Chain A
Amino acid sequence: MKLVLLYVLLLKAMATTFGGTASLAVLREDVVVRHGFLTDRDLNLAVTAGRSGPGPNGIYLVSVGYLIAGVPGACVGWLAMITPAFLVIPLVRLVGARADSPRVLGAIRASTAASAGLLMAAMVPIARGALTDGLLVAVAAASFAVFSFTRIDSAWVILAAALTGGVGMALTH
Chain B
Amino acid sequence: MAPQTPQRSEAPRGTRGAPRPPLVALAGLFLRAGNLTFGGGHVITATLQREMVHRRGWLTLDQYGLAQSLAKVTPGTGILAFCAATAWMLRRWAGALVAVLAASVPSAAFVVLLTWAFTSLTSSRPAQVALAAVLAAAVGMMWAAAWLLVRPQLTPATWLRTGVMVVGAFVALWRWSISPLQILLVAALIGVFWNSGETA
A interacts with B: yes
Binding site for B on A (CB under 8 A): 12, 14-26, 29, 41, 44-60, 62-63, 66-67, 71, 74, 77-78, 81-89, 91-92, 95-96, 99-100, 102-124, 126-127, 130-132, 135-137, 139-145, 147-148, 151, 153-155, 157-158, 160-166, 168-169
Given A21-B145, A48-B134, A139-B137: A107 and B104 interface contact (C-beta under 8 Å): no
Is the pair B138, A169 in contact by a Cβ cutoff of 8 Å? no
B111 touches A102 (CB 8 A): no
A106 and B141 within 8 A (CB)? no
Give the Cβ gap from B108 to chain A, nearest Cβ, in Å: 5
Identify B136's interface contact among A49, A78, A107, A131, CB under 8 A.
A131
Interface segment out of the listed B5-13, B18-26, B29-37: B29-37
Inside 8 A of B74's CB, which chain A residues have their CB? 18, 84-85, 87-88, 91
A-B contact pairs, 13 of them (CB 8 A): A16-B181, A55-B34, A55-B35, A74-B112, A84-B77, A86-B96, A88-B84, A100-B200, A106-B193, A106-B196, A114-B184, A140-B137, A168-B129
Interface size bucket, B side?
A: 35 or more
B residues sitting closer than 8 Å to A (CB atoms) are 1, 34-41, 44, 66-67, 69-85, 88-89, 93, 96, 100-101, 103-105, 107-108, 110-112, 114-116, 118-119, 125-126, 129-150, 153, 158, 161-162, 165-174, 179-181, 183-200
Q: Hey, which chain B residues are within 8 Å of A110, CB to CB?
A: 161-162, 165, 187-188, 190-191, 194-195
* Secondary structure class of chain A's binding surface, majority of residues: helix
CA distance A48 to B132 in the complex (A): 11
Smallest Cβ-Cβ distance to B80: which chain A residue? A85
User: Of B38, B78, B93, B141, which one neighbours A20 at CB under 8 angstroms?
Assistant: B78
CB closest chain-A residue, reference B67: A92
Q: What is the minimal beta-carbon distance from B33 to any residue of chain A, in angstroms?
A: 10
Chain B residues in 8 Å Cβ range of A118? 169-170, 173, 180, 183-184
A93 to B41, CA, bound (A): 23
A44-B138, A78-B104, A87-B74 known; A54-B110 Cβ under 8 A? yes
* Residues of chain B within 8 A of A60, CB atoms compared: 111
Q: Is the CB of B96 within 8 A of A89?
A: yes
6 shortest interchain CB distances as A-B pairs: A110-B191, A106-B195, A165-B133, A55-B107, A143-B140, A84-B76
**Chain A CB within 10 A, most for which of B74, B166, B179:** B74
A15 in contact with B184 (CB, 8 Å)? no
A109/B135 in contact, CB under 8 A: no
Chain B residue numbers with a CB within 8 Å of A116 are 146-147, 149-150, 165-166, 169
Residue of A nearest to B166 (CB): A117
Q: Give CA–CA (A106, B187) in the complex, Å.
A: 10
Pick from A26, A45, A62, A77: contact of B135, CB under 8 Å = A45
Nearest Cβ distance between residue A100 and chain B, in whole angstroms?
5
Query: Are A25 and B180 in contact, with the CB atoms below 8 A?
Result: yes
For residue B53, give the distance in angstroms from its CB to the closest CB of chain A. Answer: 17
